[in-house]
Amino acid sequence: MRVLGVDPGLTRCGLGVVDGAPGRALTMVRTGVARSSPDAGIGDRLLAIEQQIEEWLVACRPDAVAVERVFSQHNVSTVMGTAQAGAVAIVCAARHGIPVALHTPSEVKAAVTGNGRADKAQVTTMVTRLLRLADPPHPADAADALALAICHIWRGGAQTRLAAAQAQATQARAAQVRAAQAQAGSAQAAQAQAAQARAAQARAEQARAEQVRTAQAQARAAQARAGTEQAAMRPAGWGQAGGPR
């Protein structure tokens, strides 16, 4: 895995690219800083940082970008500038479709030195040893960026596997929900079909009953007509008893 570490800042934005994998030797690919003039406007400064990060992404083609997570500090103007530079790095990575991870300073220190409260000198010393460098990275922003990249290589794999497992679990739950919905839909369809069959049977029975009633009415009418015709055909001298008077 190749990771670009970004230690965000407006005047100096530390950048460091490291190749490696958990349990394997690490190799520094490139390190340096993206700079902007303190005398320039905020828009020009962010644009300058963006253009330099873009150049690094194109030249180094990292698999992931690790950015330091900014937290509250006493100097609000400083933390604002740091957060803005970090956001620029995130946007640049997103433009290239590169995944981004955020790591806190204590997380990086713990990953590199084993101590979440280590100072910058200790971090720089361990980065120099881990990357087998002849001289410590300079300036300190570059060393911090390399430490971010190392942290992500060592911890990012576990985080990626955890995220993948969570995604698989989510997909499995979604599949179960869809299956339950499909079963419920099938049951509802079967109930609807049964109701339709019962309604059709009821209509058929009603139709048969209506036919029977119609036939009976027609039979009674025919009998009445036959009786009337017989009465009209009797001789005038025949009495009610059926004989002559």
CATH T-level topology, domain 2-173: Nucleotidyltransferase; domain 5 (3.30.420)
3-state secondary structure of 4: strand
| Angstrom distance (rounded) from CA 85 to CA 141 | 13
- Res 223 pLDDT > 90: no
Q: Would you tell me how many other CB atoms lie within 10 Å of the CB of residue 90? A: 18
pLDDT tens-digit map of 143-201: 999 999 999 999 876 555 555 566 678 888 888 888 888 888 888 888 989 999 899 89
Nearest to 51 by CA among 36, 66, 70: 36
pLDDT tens-digit map of 180-195: 888 888 888 889 899 9
Geometric angle at alpha carbon 62, from 169 and 45, rounded to 5°:
110
Residues annotated as catalytic (active site), given as ranges? 7, 68, 141
Nearest to 15 by CA among 144, 145, 168: 145
- Res 93 pLDDT > 70: yes
Nearest to 99 by CA among 15, 159, 45: 159
- Res 232 pLDDT > 80: no
Geometric angle at alpha carbon 89, from 83 and 93, rounded to 5°:
145
Q: What is the pTM of this model?
A: 0.66
Which string of b and e fits 47-85 if b means at least 16 CB within 10 Å? Answer: ebbbebbeebbeeeebebbbbbbbeeeeeeeeeebbebb
Q: State the DSSP H helix or E strand holding residue 129, giving kind and residue range, or none if neither.
A: helix 120-130
How does the average pLDDT of the chain come out, rounded? Answer: 89
